[in-house]
Amino acid sequence: MTTSRLVAALVLSVVASVACQATGDDEPAASAATYASSAPAAARRAVPATRAGGPGCKAKRNIEVCFSSPGTHGGTHPVVINRMRRLFKKSQAGDSLRIAMFRWDIPGAADNLVEAQARGVHVELVVDHDVIANAVGASLVQRIEAGDPAPGNTVVCDGACLPWTGAGPAPYAQDINHLKLIVADVGGERSVVTSSSNLAGLQYQQYNSLLRIVSPKYYKFADAWYDALKTQRVGTIKTTLANPPAMLYPRRGDILADTLRQVRCTPQLDQVDVHLAVIQRADIRSRLVQLSESGCRVRVVVDRPAVEKWLEQKVDGHRLPKALVRQVSTHDKGVIIHALVGGKPQYVVVTGTSNATCGGLYYNDEIMLRLKGKWIHDRYGKHFNDAFGHGRDSARGVRTPDFDPCT
């Protein structure tokens, strides 16, 4: 199927009642609409506590998080990928798994999904063309399509599934379905998994995270969004004035920049930790430099040495301190904040699938969420400290790239 290039944008606020009560996408100080701060009490009580799905994962209320930390596990750590595989293996007849994925080359994970379908699990795939570019992914798509008599349970998008919002042409290696998404109805529990990790072998050696949310309203949102991906039409997806807020891409303006614009620091509230595999957007770099100059303790971990060197270059006469920008093998996407956000002391985490790139903003299928509260902050904060502690300063002589403004 081919994606039409129409200008469209999705700005969706989705529900998950976390122990750390979140406010909406934009605080009252922001120019856009303010979302409701919490779900109704009855809805919150209706969601049972979530159990962690294995070692290396933690859960509280209806949130589960998992983190891979190869730096502390001899260079490889399968916890995030294994969590997705356990979900496949747990599913039984009558359950459903709807999956959107950018890359898939792990044979065991493919076999787990085919075996689930053989047990009577309803399986659907919406994947990037990258999946069928390798033998494992191509075979998986063929087997899942053959295993269900109903046609169309697999879709391979030609580029991003949803329409661009950029003027084009797309940047190199962008215009993709960059999602790592599972909409699962397993054992009567409906959950949505978002991860920075593809089901690809390289990810075992990289820092990654996984977020699983158990919430009827969030599941309903994600299910409708999956239908939009599958049909490659934006359609009608109802927004819910509840939390956590989430934004789907391609779109113009995003939850990361919106959050950073609202941050102010004091001596006791000064944490801005940025764990993004790739940062190429000048607006994000400029804002991080501004925050650093205004008293925030900004620390950054990225994957690529050249990006690290770019972040250390001067912006309007100022730069991020070299000692606080490090490079490590990571594919993660997470920003961890303890500061004044929208004028109030808050613990905030922004996470999802998108890097800070023009492609991630205007040309790729992505999702980013914003969660609040000390429990989720501390989990992601510990993960960041692990990656930062294993990071290093890139060797001298690395060529500093020039990144074009987003259009």
8 Å CB contact between 161 and 177: yes
Going by C-alpha positions, the residue among 258, 254, 272 that lies closest to residue 346 is 272
Tokens of 41: 């009490």
Going residue by residue through the chain (407 aa), what tens digit of pLDDT does each one get?
333 332 233 333 332 222 222 222 222 222 222 222 223 333 333 456 788 887 789 999 999 999 999 999 999 999 999 999 999 999 999 999 999 999 999 999 999 999 999 999 999 999 999 999 999 999 999 999 999 988 889 999 999 999 999 998 999 899 999 999 999 999 999 999 999 999 999 999 999 999 999 998 889 889 989 999 999 987 656 554 335 778 889 988 899 999 999 999 999 999 999 999 999 999 999 999 999 999 999 999 999 999 999 999 999 999 999 999 999 999 999 999 999 999 999 999 999 999 999 999 999 999 999 999 999 999 999 999 999 999 999 888 888 888 988 88
Query: Would strands 325-327 and 333-341 be described as parallel, antiparallel, or unpaired?
Result: unpaired
Determine the pLDDT at residue 398: 84
Residue spans of alpha helices (H) in 181-270: 216-231, 255-261
Determine the pLDDT at residue 38: 27
Determine the pLDDT at residue 243: 52
Cα–Cα distance for residue pair 382/61, rounded to 1 Å:
20
Q: How many CA atoms lie within 13 A of 147 on its CB side?
A: 21
Determine the pLDDT at residue 31: 23
Cα–Cα distance for residue pair 230/233, rounded to 1 Å:
8
Query: 275 — phi, psi (to 5°)?
Result: -120, 90
Give the bridge partners for 190, in sequence order: 185
8 Å CB contact between 78 and 67: no
The residues, ordered by sequence, that sit 6+ positions from 386 with a Cβ below 8 Å of its Cβ are 67, 69, 71, 72, 207
Q: One-letter amino acid identity for 55?
A: P
Cα–Cα distance for residue pair 239/245, rounded to 1 Å:
10
8 Å CB contact between 170 and 406: no
Domains of the chain: 41-246 (3.30.870.10)
Determine the pLDDT at residue 387: 97
8 Å CB contact between 19 and 245: no
Tokens of 208: 């990654």
Apex 388 CA angle, 382 and 393, nearest 5 = 180
- R_g (Cα) of the chain, nearest Å: 20
H or E stretch covering 247: strand 246-249
277 DSSP 8-state letter: S
- The DSSP secondary structure of 287-330, one letter per residue, reads HHHHHHHTT-EEEEEES-HHHHHHHTS-BTTB---GGGEEE-SB
Cα–Cα distance for residue pair 230/226, rounded to 1 Å:
6
Going by C-alpha positions, the residue among 114, 291, 87 that lies closest to residue 192 is 87
